[in-house]
Structure 1
Amino acid sequence: MLTPDTNLVNQLNQEAPTFWSSKPDSTIILAEQALSISSTLAYTKGQMLAYRNLGLGHYEKGNYGEAVQSYKRAIALSQEMEETSFQARLHSNIAMAYLALGAHDEALVNLNEALAIAEKEKLISTLAHVHHNIGMVYHYQFKNDQAIQFYDKSLQLYESNGDTTHSTFILGNMAHLFLKKKNFKKAEALYFKSLTLAEKQQNKKAIGNALQSLGAFFMEKGNYQKALAYFFQAKEVLTSTGEQTEYLRLLDNLATCYAKLGNDILANRFATKSLDLAKKQQQLYYIQTAANQLAKLYEKKGHHKQALDYYKQAITAADSLYSQRNKEELVRMEEKYKYQKDQEQAKLIYHMQLKKQRQFLYGAVALVFVLMVTAFLLYSNIKQKHKTNRILKETNNLLEEQHVQLESSNHFKEQLISLVAHDVRHPITSLQKVLSLFENKHLSPEEIQQLMSYSHQDVNNLIHLLDDLLLWVRLQLRYTKLQKTVFLIEDVLQPICELYQKKARDKNIQLVATYDLGTKVYADEEAIATVIRNLIDNSIKFSHPGAVVHIRTTSAANNRRIKIQIIDTGIGMSEKTIKNLFTVSTYARQYGTQNEEGSGLGIQICRHYLQLNNSELFVESTFGKGTTFWFEIDTAEETTEN
Structure 2
Amino acid sequence: MKALSILFFSTLSFSLLSSGSTFYQQASLIELRQECDSLKCPERYTYAYRLLAEDLQLPLKDRFKYLEISEKISLELTDFHEILSIYAQAGRMYRDQGQFAASMEAFSKGIHYLGYKNNTDWLHNEGWFLVGYGNLLFQVKLFEDAQDIFRNCALVMEKNRDDYGEAVAYNNIGLCYSQLGRPDSALFYFNKAYELRLGLNDKFLLTHSLLYISQMYRELGNGARADSALEKAAFYNDLSTEFEFIGDIHCQWAEIAFDHDDLISASYHLSKAKEMSSPFKDFNWLNLKIRLFTELRLEDSLLVYIDSAISTAQKFGNLDRELSLLYQKENLYRKKGQIKKADSILVRIAALSQKLLIIKDTVQKDLMEVQGEFIVNRSRLQNLEASNKEKERIIASQNTTIILVTIMALILLSAFILYYRINNRVRKLSKNLRIINERSRLAAEQMTSGIIALDANGDLIFSNQAARDHFRYFGNFDLEESKNFLSQINQEAMLEDWQLRIQEVQQKKSFQNMSSRLKDERKFYHLVSLREMISEGQMVGTVAVITDVTNSQERSLELSRKTQALEIANSAKEKMLSLLAHDLKEGVVSSLELAKLSLDGDPKEHNSNLQLIYESLARTKTLLFKTLDWVKHQSNGLELQRNKFFIARLVNDVIKEKEDIIKQKSVECLNQVDQDLQAVADPNALRVILRNLIGNAIKFVEPKVGRVQIQSRRINSAKIEIAIVDNGRGMTPVQIANLLGGEKLNSTKGTIGEEGTGMGLHFCQDLLFKMGSTLQVESSLNLGTVFYFSLDCPQGAAKQ
Normalized against structure 1, the TM-score is what? 0.47
Larger Rg: 2
Q: Which has the higher contact order (CA 8 A, sep 6+)?
A: 1
Normalized against structure 2, the TM-score is what? 0.39
Kindly indicate which of the two structures has a greater share of residues assigned to helix: 1
